[in-house]
Chain A
Amino acid sequence: MRLVFEKSVPGRRAVRTAPTDVPRISMRSDLLRQEPANLPELSELDVVRHFTELSRRNFGVDNNFYPLGSCTMKYNPKVAEHIASYPGFADLHPLLPQLRMGGMLTQGALRVLHEIDLLLCEITGMARFTTQPLAGAHGELTGMMIMAAYHREQGNKKTTVLIPDSAHGTNPASAAIAGYRVVSIPSSENGVMDVETIKQYLNDEVAGLMLTCPNTLGLFNPHVKDICDLIHGVDGLTYYDGANLNAIVGKARPGDFGFDIVHLNLHKTFATPHGGGGPGAGPVGVKKELVPFLPVSVVTKRDDGTYALQYDRPKSIGYIAPFYGNFGVVLKAYVYILMLGKEGLRRVAENAVLNANYVKEKLKGHYRIAFDRLCKHECVFTISERMAQNGIRAADIAKALIDKGFHPPTVYFPTIVTEAMMIEPTETESKETLDSFVEAMIEIAEQAENEPEKLKAAPTTTVVCRPNETAAAKNLNIACSIIESPAC
Chain B
Amino acid sequence: MVIEGLLYTKDHEWARIDADVATIGITDYAQQMLGELVFVELPRIGKQCAGGDELAVVESTKAANDIFAPVAGKVIEVNDELESQPELVNQDCYNAGWICKLQITDVKSVESLMDSKQYEEYLAGR
Contact = CB atoms under 8 A, between A and B. Distances in A.
Q: Do chains A and B touch in the complex (CB under 8 A)?
A: yes
Interface of A: 412, 469-470, 472-474
Contacts of A470: 36, 38, 60-61
Contact of B86 (A412, A469, A472, A474): A474
Among B39, B59, B61, B62, which residue has the most Cβ atoms of chain A within 10 A? B61
B54 to A, nearest CB: 14
A403 B86 CA distance: 35
A473 B39 CA distance: 8
Contacts, number: 14
Interface in B28-42: 36, 38-39
Contacts of A412: 62
Nearest to B60: A470
14 contacts: A412-B62, A469-B61, A470-B36, A470-B38, A470-B60, A470-B61, A472-B61, A473-B38, A473-B39, A473-B59, A473-B61, A474-B38, A474-B39, A474-B86
A112 B36 CA distance: 51
Interface of B: 36, 38-39, 59-62, 86
Nearest to B63: A415
Contacts of A469: 61
A416 to B, nearest CB: 15
Nearest to B87: A474
A472 B38 CA distance: 9
Given A469-B61, A473-B59, 9 more contacts: A412-B62, A470-B36, A470-B38, A470-B60, A470-B61, A473-B38, A473-B61, A474-B38, A474-B86
A474 B62 CA distance: 13
A290 B60 CA distance: 42
A296 B36 CA distance: 47
Contacts of B59: 473
Nearest to A472: B61
A473 B86 CA distance: 11
A470 to B, nearest CB: 5
A474 B36 CA distance: 10
A473 B38 CA distance: 6
The 4 closest A-B pairs by CB, nearest first: A473-B38, A469-B61, A474-B38, A470-B36
A136 to B, nearest CB: 22
A111 B15 CA distance: 65
A101 to B, nearest CB: 53
B75 to A, nearest CB: 25
A49 to B, nearest CB: 33
Nearest to A469: B61
Contacts of A472: 61
A472 B62 CA distance: 13
Nearest to B38: A473
A286 B28 CA distance: 49
A165 B69 CA distance: 25
Determine which residue in B38, B39, B59 has the highest number of CB atoms from chain A within 10 A of its CB, and name it: B38
B32 to A, nearest CB: 15
A412 B62 CA distance: 10
A472 B61 CA distance: 9
A364 B38 CA distance: 37
Contacts of B36: 470
Contacts of B62: 412
A430 to B, nearest CB: 35
Nearest to A471: B38
A472 B36 CA distance: 12
A413 to B, nearest CB: 11
A369 B59 CA distance: 31
Contacts of B38: 470, 473-474
